[in-house]
Structure 1
Amino acid sequence: MPHLRAHGAPTRRIARQLLAAALAAIATPVFAAHGIEAGDIRRDGAACNDFFDYANGAWRASHAIPDYMDRWSRRWESGEINKEHVRDILSEVSARKDWPAGSAEQLSGDFYAACMDEASVNALGAKPVQPMLDEIRAIKDAAGVQRTIGHLHDVGVNVPFTLAAQSDLHEPTRVIAHVGPGTLGMPDRDYYIKPDKRFVEAREKYQAHVAKMFELAGEKAAAAKADAQVVFAFEKRFAEASLDNVQLRDPKLQDNKTTFAQLGQLVPAFDWSAYFDAAHMPHDDLNVTEPKYLHQLQKELASTPTAQWRTYLEWHVLNAAADALSAPFVEEHFAFNGKYLTGATEMKPRWKRCAEATDNQLGEALGKKYVEKYFPPEAKARMQEMVKNILLAMKDTIQGLDWMGDATKKKALEKLATFNPKIGYPDKWKDYAGVKVSRGSYWDDVVSASRWNVADGRAQVGKPVDRGRWGMTPPTSNAYYNPLLNEIVFPAGILQPPAFDVNATDAVNYGAIGVVIGHEISHGFDDQGAQFDAQGRLSNWWTAEDQKRFTERGACVVKQFEGYSIEPGIHHNGKLVLGESIGDLGGAKLAFLAYKKSREGKAAEPTLDGFTPEQQFFLSWGQWRGDEIRPETQRTMVQGDPHPIAKYRVNGPLSNLPAFREAFQCKADAPMVRQGAERCEVW
């Protein structure tokens, strides 16, 4: 997700900025905040017919999706520009080789430099990963399989199961281990199971891809093809034992508190004591997210030949390592995961991939410098004020609900009062003590950083939760809500134009980042978040009647999005996108209410480019969220992404809002106006 000058701002905006700068130089200071991007609007369109097309259609018509992207908008353009900022920081620190060993500058600079040394990476071929492959190929028995699984987990290769350190669903002040399904090579279980033509084709493409990777690692074509079939059959069995994407949205289905002894009874073929001891984790109670999957794991451990385990593990090492190896591996990995699955036709420039990788592995090492350059204190202060106002709007909304009883309202308000907003960056930075990074081997650096990150997570198990930890790095252009901690988190990377700009009008900021803030707040009260109480426990705080009314309101949203198709025969799964759609609907409503309240007692913001402040609010959302998305990516999203495609993230929620209809004076029968039983409102 999502910087002003670098955004390719239209002439009109530049002129306004120059005028503001000139006026600031005279005796009486004058400040002129900018509004929406009027040049992005499709003037021959109609706001009340298709607001997505109207708000940003002109921009999309003149800005084709870059070959290396699967979607494009000002939001995604800003996100890519953000990576230029990260690159500038990394280029600066990597230009020096005399940083103190273990310092943030040495770690991030050398990691980036090793990644950027493409000639050395290519010269090494598959040699960096050979020790792992040799270990796998030397496995002779079940004990060897289990030892290797542990070694792979140490560096973040999460097969055939995964272990994550997360809060206890019922005692969220405590961190426990959560054991669940391992990584699949395709996006989700349905790719292995469903009979639709697109999934059948994906299975064929995937097996050809796996075979090609085995060939690159030195196998003959016939053996590689046979091994690909082994991998697919192995993964299919695991997929069949997994929850589907809609089931994964129900936390109750993944709430299976288990003692350490019971885990051993569930999968007796695995030596859990040896695994936990090697990982330096206590033999405490834990949570099994999918018991059926672990039953399948037991079957595989007990009956699958060691040779097939070797093939399966070797594939997942190659798959995990591909982007850090020589060009043939990188290109083949992109051919399936990029070209085929997303429709992108070329890879991102190497510097961009290296910037992403450094942020992913060592984000808080470079985060300090990023924040210093791109997130000034005044931006944080303004963001804090907006969050406060939108939380107050949610309070007013809850208090005014006519469908919720007083007992449930009391619990909802208690939960709202415990929300913890995190803005920009952590108060305490990770020090990455013990990470060894050099410029000799990029893959070795990836392994070293991954090993540290895995160990850092495991070290939390059995301890009180550290509420200062972040789930995203400061340069990340995204946001999230964590129900177990009841926190909303906005890294500095998303708090950049056009989502947020200290020089923008309130209407523009509330219409973009304000809706995102409201969206994350609403997640605390969507179909998932509403199952967690004020302390972050998975606990029902609803009366039966209020729960029924809430479910009915959610059903309206499900029905609405089931009616949105991306092409004939492929439509959104309303239950899959329910939470995100409640978030967008609540977010737009809350942000608009907060915007109006924030202007009380102040002079009205001006009409700019012919648009009222209220219209600017909605246009800001339409322009920030207005992604053009490749058909291949749309198909992948509809299959497994809980977010709807951008068109319906704009039109879907706004068509339910009376404030939108009023702002653009839409007629009652306009396509952007839902009425009566068709109009959805949850919060």
Structure 2
Amino acid sequence: MAGVSHHPGCHRTLMAILATLAALGCGLFPTGSAASVHARQAGPRLQRRAIAPAASSQPQWSPSLCLSKSCVTAAYNILNRMDTSVKPCDDFFAFACGEFNKSTVVPDEKSSVSEFSLLHDELQVQMRKLIDSPILDDDAPAAVLLKKYFKSCMDKETIEKQGLQPLHDILDEMGGWPVLKGSAWDEDAFQWTEAVFQNRKRGYSDSHMFSFSVSADVKNYSRRHISLGDTSLGLGRKYLIKGFNDSDVQAYYNFMVEMALLMGAEPERAKQEMESALRFEMMLANISLPAEERRNASKLYNKMTLDQLSQLAPIVPWVDYTNKLLEDAGHQVSSNESVNVNHPEFFKNLTGLLQVTPNRVLANYLLWRVVKGSVSQLNLAARDVRLKFYGQVYGVTEHKPRWKECLGSVLGKFTIGAGSLYVQNHFDQESKTSALRLVSDVHKEFDMMLQEVTWMDNVTRERAVEKSKTISYYIAYPDELLNDTLVGEFYENLTLSDDNFLRNKLNHSIFAVNYSYRKLRDPVDKKDWRRHSRAAVVNAFYNTVDNSITFPAGILQGGFYNNDRPQYLNYGAIGFVIGHEITHGFDDRGRQFNAEGELQEWWEPETRDRFLDSAQCIIEQYGNITVDRVDMQVNGITTQGENIAEQRRHTDRAPRLRPLPAR
């Protein structure tokens, strides 16, 4: 859900409470009026009393008391989060979520707790029971891979026994990490491009100097192209641009130095050479595009041939460089290959930076990124060094339980296999069908709102309605996940063992990148089931280039959705999330793409200007919020997409009231 899981605890349930609190109390209140909320301030004790019919032309319906297990559980969970000592008209958030905030303790291994994270914890327990078990003769091929990967991660004895030697072997094969080799390192033999190729061959990222990927052409979505962009940094740009002496940057520097020391570097050499490597990374950050300027998709679309790119950034042998990254995927290109360069100025500045940076600094930086990318698969001593860094920057001061770390890695890397295993054991077709109907109902309401907004001209409105009606739904899971043969075929080129965690991780990375790069010449199939198979995920998504919304099976449970409870609860909870995701198609980013998901300006100038003026108000509104506990100000620009989706319901009409299905 485009970052929705970062919201505070039960923030996402606020609208659900407004719509359903009366029903949860005793099922008697036909609307969530202020009067009825005040009537329940005295406490959450259930009472039954008669309500006189309101003098209104709106439809009325007879309330009923639901005492099923699902209803009672839902009522308990909502009431248990409320602070009824607070008047809802004084502070509705405190009223609705106050007790949750008071009673919830964020574990040391987490940086936050939310409804999403709590539900994810439940999903992890479900998945652990399926994966943390012996391999059986009748296990599906994908299930075997998941179990092997998990087992290799859980094999702490072997990992500790191997220590840092597997990483030392890899670094030596790549020419050695200068900070470890000292004067024995051969600077003349080093070429940074060759180091990138070595990363690609061995399963490490090939985007440490600049990003390289195969993606859909957003102006012609039927085809793919090579996309080149700013570097993938080891620490976020927003930190690195603060300077070497910033406390968070110093924590990152200490991480670098302590890992070098752990690997056997001399203390003074480690300090000096890691500082040089860090200062190079800071320069990469400074020539990268700020996140605030990456929201304009047109600005990131700059097509040119490799020959033209060679004139912009002549320091890279572009045809040879591209062919070496693509050769294992079976492709070759020529100088007239058309590529998209997200940020041309970056490559111009990178050329100058590479020309003045010594090979030793480049090698120390690139090999540091290999070391950093290996820590999760190494022994406890290495992970303890990283934990100190996490504690300073992210507030995480304890390791997760090992099984959670391992399961998280499995769920993140094997989305199709994990999704198949999850839906075959923990989801039913009836819930999928009911959820689809719910999505359709909320979508119809959104379309009616489009017809009534007063700031949109008729031409733009027609195009907006067309785009809305074209939105595709991907609910719960694609049926192909129930076919073990199809799922197994997806992983047929992946080989894993059950006793070499680092090698398994690298093998999977090679497999995943090859899969992506092989698609360079393939037409884009928006409905390809493999694109919509992230079923074991507690989140929701809007995809701009697909013009689609996805609600995985993982979120269609718990407080968000339950097919065995009255549907008004689901409309209040997951229904709010559905409206949020649909609105992303028309937020500051989504509005840049047309009904086919292609980058195109389809708004009439006056309406576009009115939208941007209103968006600026939201930017300023949220940009003026400071969180006192951490003395941090909200970035109104980078959060505007989420904030627009949260404040979507602004029309001049009174809300319609109509009965929702009871079941």
TM-score strictly above 0.5 = yes
- The CA distance in 1 between the partners of 2:188 and 2:225, in whole Å, is 31
Aligned mate of 1:55, from 90, 96, 117: 96
Distance 1:32 1:314, change over 3 A: closer
**In the alignment, structure 1 residue 459 sits paired with structure 2 residue 515:** no
Matched with 2:453 is: 401
- C-alpha distance in 2 between matches for 1:593 and 1:340: 47
Who is 1:226 aligned against? 272
Whole-angstrom distance in 2 between the partners of 1:463 and 1:550: 37
The aligned counterpart of 1:432 is 491
Query: Is the contact between residue 517 and residue 587 of structure 1 (CA under 8 Å) also seen in structure 2?
Result: no
Residue matched to 2:378: 325
Contact 1:153 1:159 in 2 (8 A): no
CA contact (8 A) 2:211 2:228 kept: yes
**1:586 and 2:634 correspond:** no
CA distance, structure 2, for counterparts of residue 470 and residue 584 of structure 1: 27
1:88 matched to 2:129: yes
SS at match of 1:586: coil
Q: Is the 8 A contact 1:501 1:509 kept in 2?
A: yes
Instruction: Return the alpha-carbon distance in structure 1 between the equivalents of residues 479 and 522 of structure 2.
Output: 20
Structure 1 segment 652-663 matched on structure 2, within 5 A? none
Give the whole-Å Cα distance in 2 for the aligned partners of 1:223 and 1:285.
Answer: 44
Q: Distance in 2 between matches of 1:204 and 1:99?
A: 52
Determine the structure 1 residue equivalent to 2:367: 314
The answer to whether the 8 Å contact 2:231/2:288 transfers is no
Structure 1 residue 350 displacement after superposition: 0.5
Match of 2:385, SS? Answer: helix
Check 1:493–1:347 CA distance in 2 against 1; reply closer, same or farther (3 A cut): same
Residue number among 378, 385, 399 corresponding to 2:430 in the alignment:
378
2:165 to 117, 123, 127: 127
Normalising by structure 2, we get a TM-score of 0.81
Amino acid at match of 1:367: G
Q: For residue 470 of structure 1, give the secondary structure of its aligned residue in structure 2.
A: helix
Aligned partner letter, 1:364: I
Distance 2:173 2:569 in 1: 56
Name the counterpart of 1:255: 301
* Residue identity opposite 1:425 in structure 2: Y
Instruction: Provide, for residues 482-518 of structure 1, a one-character-per-residue CA deviation record: whole Å limited to 9, x for no partner.
Output: 1111111122222221122213333322222212111
Number of equivalences: 571
- More displaced, 449-458 or 370-379? 370-379
Contact 1:246 1:575 in 2 (8 A): yes
Q: Which residue of 1 aligns with 2:84?
A: 43
Contact 2:82–2:96, Cα closer than 8 Å, also in 1: yes
Give the CA deviation at 1:32.
6.8
> What amino acid is the match of 1:580?
E
Secondary structure of the 2:191 match is: helix
Name the SS of the counterpart of 1:179 in structure 2: strand
- Cα 1:225–1:472 shift into 2, 3 Å: farther
How far does the alpha carbon of each residue in 1:391-413 deviate from its partner, in whole angstroms, 9 at most, with x for none? 11111111111111110011111
Shift in Å at residue 432 of structure 1?
A: 1.1
Residue 142 to residue 236, structure 1, CA distance change in 2 (3 Å): farther
Within a 5 Å distance, the mapping from 1:164-183 to structure 2 comes to: 164-183=213-232
Q: Distance in 2 between matches of 1:473 and 1:538?
A: 25
Correspondence for 2:193: 146
Change (3 A) 1:119 1:72: same
Query: CA separation of 1:385/1:576 partners in 2, compared to 1, >3 Å: closer, same or farther?
Result: same
Partner of 1:444: 503
CA distance, structure 2, for counterparts of residue 271 and residue 119 of structure 1:
45
**Residue aligning to 1:75:** 116
1:191 pairs, out of 221, 232, 239, with 239
Q: 1:459 to 1:111 in 2, by over 3 A?
A: same
Aligned to 1:296: 349
Identity %: 27
Separation in 1 of the partners of 2:364 and 2:105? 42
Summarize deviations over 1:633-682 as a string: whole Å, max 9, x none: xxxxxxxxxxxxxxxxxxxxxxxxxxxxxxxxxxxxxxxxxxxxxxxxxx
Partners in 1 of 2:268 and 2:282 — Cα distance?
21
Q: Does structure 1 conserve the Cα–Cα contact (< 8 Å) formed by 2:174 and 2:198?
A: no
| 1:367–1:474 contact (8 Å) kept in structure 2 | yes
CA distance in 2, matches of 1:211, 1:143: 22
Distance 1:508 1:51 in 2: 19
- 2:559 is aligned with 1:498: yes
Letter in 2 for 1:215: L
Contact 1:523 1:529 in 2 (8 A): yes
Partner deviation per Cα, 1:227-251 (whole Å, 9 max, x = no partner): 2202211111111111112112221
Change (3 A) 1:293 1:277: same
* Mapped partners of 2:649, 2:429: distance in 1: 25
Kindly provide the amino acid, as one letter, of the partner of residue 86 in structure 1: M
1:586: how far off?
A: 2.1
317-326 or 199-208: bigger deviation: 199-208
Q: Which amino acid aligns with 1:66?
A: P
Q: Tell me the SS of whatever aligns to 2:80.
A: helix
Gaps of 5+ in 1: 3-12, 17-28, 606-683
- Greater displacement, 432-441 / 276-285: 276-285
In 2, are the aligned partners of 1:167 and 1:465 still within 8 Å (CA)?
yes
Q: Structure 2 vs 1, CA of residues 352 and 270 (structure 1 numbering), >3 Å: closer, same or farther?
A: same
Please, what is the CA RMSD of the aligned residues? 2.8
CA distance in 1, matches of 2:568, 2:468: 24
Cα separation, 2, equivalents of 1:516 and 1:292: 38
